[in-house]
Every structure is written in C-alpha cells, then in structure tokens.
Structure 1
Amino acid sequence: MFQRASSTMPELTLEDIKTVPFDPRFPNTNQTRHCYQSYVDFYRCQRIRGSDYAPCNYFQKVFHAMCPNAWVEKWDEQRESGTFPGNI
C-alpha cells in the first residue's frame, strides 16, 4: 500500500532553502534578535575569514530574509560611520 521512504535524504543547498531554518538559539516568535545576530555574524565572519569565504554568505542570506531593509540600510550607514552599536 505505502512505499517506504528512502533512508537517504537528498542534500540541500542554500539555494534550495526558501525560508530561514529554525534556530534553537531564538525559540520565540519575535525574530528581531535572530535578524540582528545574523547581520553581526555575517560581518564578523567576513572580518575574521575574509570576504571570499563562502560559508559567511549563509548569514547574509538569513539577515536579508529576516530583517527589514530600513534596518539593514541604517546598520550599514552606522558601520560606515563607525557608530554601529554591535561588536563586529
């Protein structure tokens, strides 16, 4: 009647993910902290690993999916002027 599912799952890439996956560090429905932390993690990753380090792009995709554009623009301006409140 029912076919048994394969025991091997296909590997997903970031391009296959349409929404941000659940992160247990942010269990609440308010995702503001997740948005902010992903922004900080992206620029911190680039600072430590260099701008060519591809795994950093995961954080960029997360904050672009979760954060309002106005916040990102404001944070970018603050980073450029040296007034960003986070530790990057």
Structure 2
Amino acid sequence: MAEDIKTKLENYRTAPFDARFPNQNQTRNCWSNYVDFHRCQKSLEARGVDLAPCEWYRRVYKSLCPISWIQKWDDQRGEGTFAGKI
C-alpha cells in the first residue's frame, strides 16, 4: 500500500476528479482536503506512524485552494479559532 501511495505522489500533477464534488465550484473540495490533511496528520502523529499517506491531501488542497485561504486557516488554527473540527 505504501508503494501505491508513493507511485501516486510521484505521478501527481493536479487534483483528480472527485465524484463527491461534481460541480465547477471546488470550494468544498478545497475545504474538505484541508481539514482531512490536518485530521490525518493529527491521527498519525498520535500513533507515531509515518505521515506519508497524509501527503495526498496536502497536495490536493494546495492545488485547489488559494494561498490566502490557506494562510488564513493556518493562522486561525494557531490562534485556536479555526471553524473546522480537526
């Protein structure tokens, strides 16, 4: 499984189609992948496991989300005012 993830990451160009978000507006897709990345990271860090599987979510949200949104959400997480449940 780890090899499959590594292969996907090596061949990654941009966010692939996600059937959960079929419309042109990809705002929810951006948000979901941002939150999923931080949930994955938190979960795997607590278990002391390699964080490589979380890299997929990070790459997807980085390709979908405007940088200003990411910076704003990172600041909010740092301040403890982030609206998402991580």
Task: Using structure 2 for the length normalisation, give the TM-score.
Answer: 0.84
Residue 46 of structure 1 pairs with residue 41 of structure 2: yes
Which structure features the higher share of helix residues? 2
Unaligned runs of 5+ in 1: 1-11
Aligned to 2:8: 13
Higher relative contact order (CA 8 A, sep 6+): 2
Residue 56 of structure 1 pairs with residue 54 of structure 2: yes
Among all aligned residue pairs of Structure 1 and Structure 2, give the percentage whose two residues are the same amino acid.
52
Deviation (angstroms), 1:13: 2.3
Count of aligned positions? 77
RMSD: 1.3
CA distance in 1, matches of 2:40, 2:23: 25
Letter in 2 for 1:86: G
CA distance in 2, matches of 1:30, 1:78: 24
Deviation (angstroms), 1:17: 2.0
Q: Which has the larger radius of gyration?
A: 1
Aligned to 2:4: none
Task: Using structure 1 for the length normalisation, give the TM-score.
Answer: 0.82
Letter in 1 for 2:41: Q
State the 4+ residue runs in structure 1 displaced beyond 4 angstroms.
none
Unaligned runs of 5+ in 2: 1-6
